[in-house]
Structure 1
Amino acid sequence: MWYDTLFQKLEQCEDKKQAEKMAAYMQNKFKFLGIPKPKLNEIAKQYLKESRKYDFDWEFVNICWSKTYREAQYIAINYLSMNSKKLTDKDLLKLKHLIVNKSWWETVDSLDAMVGCIVLKNKDLEKTMLEWSLSENIWLKRVAINFQQEYKEKTNIELFEKIICNNLGSDEFFINKAIGWSLRDYSKVNPKWVREFIENYKDQLSALSIKESSKYL
């Protein structure tokens, strides 16, 4: 396969001192090989280029996700991003599996754009996003809040409001931050609506959400 020697090459580049620093930055939630992003991208570049000759391969993504070191998940994200236009509604459950496994903000916030690409092509999946916004899993909630960030004028405002309202009153940092970020981004397109939303829900929005959402108003 086109990726046969990739993981061997990555593991040969292990830098334990750098790995400790990278793990500490991520609150020691994951093991790292200690490969900085520029070097990681350079190593992966030739393999990802070679991958274009073949059909999209979920097996490769799942192998990356099964690796104990975080750099493998970053390469999977790059591969998915490179192939995001090929993703269909049949891939949503597979993305969900990635979202809820080895979850942290840096992978989840990349996967939400891919979810957005799929939902934009299949409006029936908006119901799934509404379901995710009510999930007990905070990362599914975060994706539901953020998946429309690239939609701009195509944003389904009614759905956007319902999803945020489903998460008002949360004491979870990553949820309140996501609400603020999503409102802030949409304020670039429709500042009037965001101002009115903040005013209507100011007693239920967290201080963090209000601070983030008001940045460009």
Structure 2
Amino acid sequence: MDVDAAAARVLAELRAQGDPARAEGEKRYLKSEFAHIGVPVPAVRKAAVAAVKAGPAREELLRLAQALWDVSDGGRPVHEARMAAIEVLVKRVALLEPRDVETAERLVRDSASWVYVDNIAERIVGALVVWYPDLATVLDAWVGDPYMWIRRTAVLALLPGVRTGDPDLERISRYGDALLGEREFFIRKALGWVLRELSKKDPAWVVRWVEPRLDAISGVTLREAVRRLPADEAARLRKRA
């Protein structure tokens, strides 16, 4: 693969589909300081998938993702190029190795929005943790990291295990206890999402975990945690909170 040419093709395709009005609206919605082209997510994904259709080697994949991530316009990162960087990694995530969690961490630390972090957390880091369970020890360090988006990544990376029916209940409980006092909305929401997804498969566990913590759990976390519980259990927990 000619990585530079592939990145240029992706960027050219994105620019050809740019909508200035959409770009401005998206910037406002995301409160973004990045440059925006104004391309819908499905179109970004289509361009990214086409770029790796031929099946790059792992090293080529990583270089392509970095090339797209580094695209700038007037000194500002380009939103759609960064989204495409994530999508190429997601499409070929099976090529990644345990050591590539370092690349994912670097991208998260260079992010400043859920719009980038959430896909990296769940679809890249979470996938790697499912395939290489020992990587979960990395999440143990991340959950206490000073950078909020790294903490959010640690929590959301537990979602694939929940969805595949093999939840890491010990870590869900431990991370939940560690984060009950969180002031950051995005951390509270992430914890609630994990509990909500778990409640679809194991509502009794979620009730047992939430109930003794009702005096400490945030409203945001509780609302998400009970959203998919049986109506009577959800109402009982809300009433007691």
TM-score by length of 1: 0.91
- 5+ residue gaps, structure 2, are 72-76, 230-241
Give the % identical residues: 26
Decide which moves more: 175-184 or 78-87.
78-87
How far apart in 2 are the matches of 1:41 and 1:140? 24
Deviations 1:118-159 (A, max 9, x none): 122323222211110000111111111111212133112111
Q: Does 1:128 align with 2:138?
A: yes
Deviates more, 1:37-46 or 1:97-106: 37-46
Matched, 1:83 2:92: yes
Name the CA shift for 1:147/1:44 in 2 (closer, same or farther; >3 Å): closer
Within 2, Cα distance between the matches of 1:196 and 1:155?
A: 16
User: What amino acid maps onto 1:55 in structure 2?
Assistant: A
Structure-2 change in CA distance of 1:82 and 1:43 (3 Å): closer
Instruction: Note if 1:36 corresponds to 2:73.
Output: no
Gaps of 5+ in 1: none
Q: Per-residue deviation at 1:194?
A: 0.4
Superposition deviation, residue 14 in structure 1: 3.7
Q: 1:198 aligns with which of 202, 210, 215?
A: 210
Distance 1:180 1:73, change over 3 A: same
Which of 149, 159, 170 is equivalent to 1:139?
A: 149
Alpha-carbon separation, structure 2, partners of 1:47 and 1:187: 38
Range moving further from structure 2, 26-35 or 154-163:
26-35
CA-based RMSD: 1.7
Rounded to whole Å, the distance in 2 between the matches of 1:160 and 1:129 is 11
SS in 1 for 2:111: coil
Indicate which of 44, 48, 51 corresponds to 2:52.
Answer: 48
CA deviation profile, 1:158-189 (whole Å, cap 9, x unmatched): 11111111111111100000011110001111
1:1-217 correspondence runs (5 A): 1=2, 3=6, 4-50=8-54, 52=55, 54-56=56-58, 57-67=61-71, 68-113=77-122, 114-152=124-162, 153-217=165-229
Secondary structure class of the residue paired with 1:188: helix
Equivalent residues of 2:104, 2:120 under 8 A apart? yes
Partners of 1:146 and 1:9 in 2: CA distance: 31
Q: 1:117 to 1:43 in 2, by over 3 A?
A: closer
Q: Secondary structure at the match of 1:33?
A: coil
d(CA) in 1 for partners of 2:106 and 2:141?
15
The number of aligned residues is: 215
CA distance in 2 between counterparts of 1:154 and 1:12 reads 43
CA shift for structure 1 position 12: 4.4
CA distance in 2, matches of 1:39, 1:126: 33
Q: TM-score, normalised by structure 2?
A: 0.83
Report the alpha carbon displacement of residue 190 of structure 1 after superposing the two structures with TM. 1.1
